[in-house]
Structure 1
Amino acid sequence: MSYRPIKAQKTDTVLHNNASLQRLVARAQIIDRLQVLLNQYLQPAVRPYCRLATYQDGTLTLIVSDGHWATRLRYQQKRLLQQLQSVPEFNQLSRIQFKVRPPSQPNTPPPRSIELSEQAGQMIQASAEATRDPVLRKALERLAQHAKK
């Protein structure tokens, strides 16, 4: 059996020839439009922490990034439900469900940076010169090199 790579195709061609991909894109566009409508009724402070997951069978499921914002939204749930029911896209809405899902943390730690003033660098260098332990002296000298000049 030999491997034959698939020829590259234009995005439009792939999209028009694949029915399941068309349904997926259409569903994503609907959710995006509903998110825009939802944002009109959410308080500005909560918008970055809340996103629409699904809207099926009269249940609107919202993903909230932490419990604090979920609690605040639960207190406003009745008002939000009434406001959204007045919008034609949400006229079948009967319940709002909140799920807390913290954002995934990046695996790489943030880069470490040391910023020392020139005076701090001079003091660390003086401490290095006064130290008898050679390992500690080298460590202090490396640290002193990070001082602004």
Structure 2
Amino acid sequence: MAKDKYAPKPLNDIMAGLSGRLSNYAGKSQALDKQQTLLTEFLSPNLADKCRVSNYRDGTLMIEAVSAPIALRLNYLKMDLLSHFRGAGMAELGQIKITANPQSSQRLTQNNASKSANNTTAKKLPMSEQTSDYLTAIAQNAPPSLREKLERLAKHGKK
């Protein structure tokens, strides 16, 4: 019998092929997180919010700043940063490259704006009585654990 190439593969077979790459990504992510923590410890909170560690490869640490003036300021601190990272256990660190990336600033600003807009909208909108009635009707046919939660939620609309 011929093997069906369209047959679904077991998840274990798929994960076995990816596990090496996933563990590499996880290790790199943890290393970058540690380096970001070291950067945040060294810089003032205001300056640390405007830059991030973007990569570390072959003894070169890449730091991304949200604007050219921030990148220039970090360049003035480059030798002190290098000493700080080496003192924290990164003896193989040879150089630090600082780049300005305005797109990261735009993404950060858009994400923060949308999150704050969603938070204020959710706080301002009360639940209608009709929604409360719908929740009560759904709760009647729901399992007991879900029924209690739906009924508690429905009480908010009846206030």
CA distance in 1, matches of 2:7, 2:98: 47
* Structure 1 unmatched ranges of 5 or more: 112-149
Task: State how far apart, in whole Å, the 1-side matches of 2:96 and 2:18 are.
Answer: 36
Which whole-Å CA distance do the structure 2 matches of 1:58 and 1:20 have between them?
21
Question: 1:40 is matched with which residue?
Answer: 41
Q: Which amino acid aligns with 1:81?
A: L
Structure 1 CA distance for aligned equivalents of residues 18 and 101 of structure 2: 35
Q: Secondary structure at the match of 1:97?
A: strand
- Code of the residue aligned with 1:86 in structure 2: it is G
**Match for residue 54 of structure 1?**
55
Q: 1:15–1:22: 8 Å Cα contact kept in structure 2?
A: no
Aligned to 1:91: 91
Unaligned runs of 5+ in 2: 115-159
Change (3 A) 1:64 1:15: farther
Task: Answer whether contact 2:39 2:48 (CA < 8 A) is retained.
Answer: no
Return the index of the structure with the highest Cα Rg.
1
Structure with the larger helix share: 2
Question: Which residue identity does 1:58 align to in structure 2?
Answer: G
TM-score with structure 1 length normalisation? 0.57
Q: Deviations over 1:4-33 (max 9, x none)?
A: 6667x69xx948962111211121111112
Provide closer, same or farther for how the CA distance between residues 102 and 5 of structure 1 changes in structure 2, counting only shifts above 3 A.
Answer: farther
Distance 1:30 1:83 in 2: 16
Moved over 4 A (4+): 1-7, 13-17
- DSSP 3-state at the match of 1:18: helix
Alignment of 1:97-136 (within 5 A): 97-104=97-104, 105=106
Query: Residues 86, 23 of structure 1: CA spacing in aligned structure 2 closer, same or farther, 3 A cutoff?
Result: same
Counterpart for residue 123 of structure 1: none
Identity %: 27
